[in-house]
A and B are shown apart, each in its own frame.
Chain A
Amino acid sequence: MIEEQKLINIEVKELQERVKEFYGQGFRLVQICCTKLAEGLELNYSFDKNFEFINLRINLAVANVEVPSVSNIYWNAFLYENELHDLFGINIKNMAIDYKGSFYRTAVKWPFNPPLDTAKGEGKND
């Protein structure tokens, strides 16, 4: 294996505090991404410091699609968060710059966005 990659499962309510801890310890925010699961969504927040790679993971139930922005801690997070909103329909609160769905200027609105009231089945434009 090239490198050890740590995975920490957390709840949405812990996100701000845990991200603040990483910022305080001098980690950089590497990326944020989302994976659509059979039931709900999975968010990964990746951090790195001197090649120590750690992921915070949040599993979102269908009814729980609202996530606080971490762009107040890592300003660059707003890009990833707008991407999550546009491609996966996740409602991110208090982004540093909120494009309100126009970050990806695609001809078809939010092509990968699953219906917010259910994670079952494919998105409306799939």
Chain B
Amino acid sequence: MTKRTIIPFGPQHPVLPEPIHLDLVLEDEKVVEAIPSVGFIHRGLEKLVEKKDFQDYVYVAERICGICSFIHGMTYCIAVEEVMKLDVPERAQYLRVIWSELSRIHSHLLWLGLMADSFGFESLFMHTWRLREAILDIIEETTGGRVIFGSSKVGGVRKDVSDEKLKLIVEKLKKYEKEIKEITDVFVHDASVKHRLVGVGILSKNDAYTLGAVGPTARGSGVSQDMRKLGYAAYRNINFEPIVETAGDCYARCMVRVRELFQSIDMISQAVNKIQAGPIEVKVTGTPNGEFFARTEQPRGEVIYYAKADGDKFLKRLRVRTPTFANIPALLKVLPGSSLADVPVLILTIDPCISCTER
């Protein structure tokens, strides 16, 4: 019988920018079992809602994650707005779509860079992040921030963007689209990339669904599930279909993100064409009383904000179920049977965000 070895993977590891730990049980070089541990940097931000005014908490929600910060803040706002039955103005809804999709583009470019780095393709990593900087510049132009936007608020958005600037953004994105195509073609066609990704870490459609996988992890296995189809913000007015790949391997999950880059650019273009002049916020009076589960689509998948209030200015409960938390079981499913050398790549293909998970 082959001798079994347990290798601790993380919480500090070159491929992990944030701490998560896996106990990997190996037989020679093959993983036979993986047990995860989290909580190294648990911040208790859900608990903080009991001591922060419900309107002020948006700033905390945005700081749950430094990559999809805007969508965190927006989803919190949606949860409270649904509880309070607020009618958010149409222009604010479109601006939320535009900022959400800019977030998705920069997040996917960040992930592609990290993925290139994980299999040692350093120049590809640098080019990907060069393009991400250009997207961050657009975000900075429209919100004043590159990481924390501070632009969402309960009842609408805090900042407007002129129609001229919105058209300029679309022009810039069309220009960047060509550069993104050049870079992503390497991910699509390069033999060395395919060698590390094709056929590695296959997650079946049935497993992806029953294990509760979300986002590109689920869609890479053929599960056509995208919370934007719920129609929150102005997504009900945007034409799109979820990007789905069927192979279920690392390459398929990568291809979903590559294709979503172009889809997001198209969605921003649609939103800019449809946005109308008007107010960007509605006045908020009173305090929330009730409960709602807000579900939106982050770059990593479905995020849930459960808000429960009893008429006080402090919420009674805020629960945040992040996509990375939902994707851990799928990761544990694909790790057994894989080579130890593939573990960093496999972990990266769920695009783990431990900052989100350690809310």
Contact = CB atoms under 8 A, between A and B. Distances in A.
B231 A2 contact: yes
Contacts of B230: 2-3, 51
Interface string A105-126: 1100001100000000000000
B96 interface: no
Contacts of A23: 210
A76 B323 CA distance: 13
Interface stretch (B31-39, B101-109, B143-151, B253-261): B31-39
Contacts of B304: 30-31, 46
Nearest to A36: B317
Looking at chain A, what size class is its interface with the partner chain?
Answer: 20 to 34
Contact of B295 (A35, A53, A86): A53
A29 B229 CA distance: 19
Contacts of B229: 51
Given A76-B211, A79-B328, A53 B293 contact: yes
Nearest to A102: B37
Interface stretch (B40-48, B128-136, B153-161, B166-174): B40-48
B308 to A, nearest CB: 6
A33 B211 contact: no
A29 B212 CA distance: 6
A3 B293 CA distance: 9
A30 B211 contact: no
A76 B212 contact: yes
A28 interface: yes
A5 B292 CA distance: 8
Contact of B306 (A33, A36, A76, A104): A33
Contacts of A44: 306
Contacts of A112: 44, 47
B357 to A, nearest CB: 10
A69 to B, nearest CB: 14
Nearest to A7: B291
B86 to A, nearest CB: 11
Interface in B213-233: 229-232
Interface string A79-120: 100000010000000000101001111100001100000000
Nearest to A46: B293
B187 interface: no
Contacts of A35: 308, 316-317, 319
A87 B323 CA distance: 19
Contacts of A102: 37
Contact of B82 (A1, A55, A99, A105): A1
B82 A2 contact: yes
Given A35-B316, A79-B325, A112-B47, A103 B292 contact: no
B39 A103 contact: yes
B336 interface: no
B209 interface: yes
Contacts of B21: 105
B321 interface: yes
A84 B229 CA distance: 30
Interface string A29-54: 11101011000000010100001010
Given A2-B231, A35-B317, A74 B212 contact: yes
Interface string A1-25: 1110100000000000000000100
Nearest to A83: B325
Among B294, B308, B328, chain A packs the most CB atoms within 10 A around the CB of B308
B37 A74 contact: no
B78 interface: yes
A28 B210 contact: yes
B329 interface: yes
A57 to B, nearest CB: 10
Contacts of B82: 1-2
Most buried by A among B39, B209, B304, B328: B39
Interface of B: 21, 35, 37-40, 42, 44, 47, 78, 82, 85, 209-212, 229-232, 292-295, 302, 304, 306, 308, 316-317, 319, 321, 325-326, 328-329
11 contacts: A28-B209, A28-B210, A30-B326, A31-B304, A31-B306, A33-B319, A74-B212, A76-B210, A79-B329, A104-B39, A105-B39
Task: List the 3 closest pairs (A to B, CB-CB), nearest first.
Answer: A104-B39, A76-B329, A31-B321
